[in-house]
Amino acid sequence: MDMQDFLLRDGLFDAVLFDLDNTLVDFISAKQKACVAVIDELGCGDPDILFSYFLRKRHGFEDYANIFDYLSDMEITGSATYLKACTIYEDVKLSNIQPYVGIEEALDAFQSKGMRLGVVTDADSVQAEKRLKQANLREYFDVVISPDISGRRKPDPDSFLMALDSLRSNPLHAIHVGDSIRRDIEPAKRLGMCTIHAAYGDWHPDETKASSIRTLRIERPEELIRLLLGSR
């Protein structure tokens, strides 16, 4: 058992920060369903290929320019079609945002221990608030920090530090839970935080394999309760 496992149960931590997408909510599944809806509206194409456009790193992971590029490559033109596709994508994606099974129970367990909770996300604040409310998770969190608030994206430490300051917590007394080794675990670890890798939502296996950083790891959200309370 890792020493941090004992520390979690000894009550030495007073705050927990969470990444949002693919840690609290199953964001990838929501995006995939949104891509299916767009293709259904177009009447042609392949939703898996459309989804792959968001993974190219040519634009941001949520940039509508990915949809524009797909339509252009499919030789589908017209601003009305593009705007309709973007609207459908956004509406269907949001409506399918759901928390992972076990997340609410874990958040309840942390709160029952008197821990203050925050979100550190690279989604902009409007989108983050919408997703948390859609997932019925917003009431759990005392603070939600996004790049338009902190001024920097992860793995820069500014969002983590701003969240910790808002929660009046020292990094040495805080936990961070996230799916990305590079953007969540490594920066939180450098600050001195206890880290928990949400492997169930990790869509970056190459980054994970390449990293030698030591961290607690969970395969299911329910395991957070075991780490906190020692229950099986």
CB atoms within 10 A of CB 105: 12
Domain ranges of the chain: 3-25+100-229, 28-95
E strands, 48-169, where? 116-120, 143-145
In this prediction, residue 8 has a pLDDT band, given cuts at 50, 70 and 90, of low
Concatenated DSSP letters for 12-71?
A: ---EEEE--BTTTB-HHHHHHHHHHHHHHHHTSS-HHHHHHHTTSSSS-TT-THHHHHHH
Considering the chain, what is the average pLDDT of its residues?
92
Is the N-terminal amide bond of 155 cis, ω within 30° of 0? Answer: yes
Q: What is the pTM (predicted TM-score) of this model?
A: 0.91
DSSP bridge partners of 16? 117, 175
Task: Say yes or no to pLDDT of 2 above 60.
Answer: no
In the predicted structure, residue 57 carries a pLDDT above the cut 90: no
Domain 3-25+100-229 indexed as CATH 3.30.365.10 = no
Confidence of residue 118 (pLDDT cuts 50, 70, 90): very high
pLDDT per residue as tens digits for the range 159-186: 999 999 999 999 999 999 999 999 999 9
Does the pLDDT of residue 231 top 90, yes or no? Answer: no
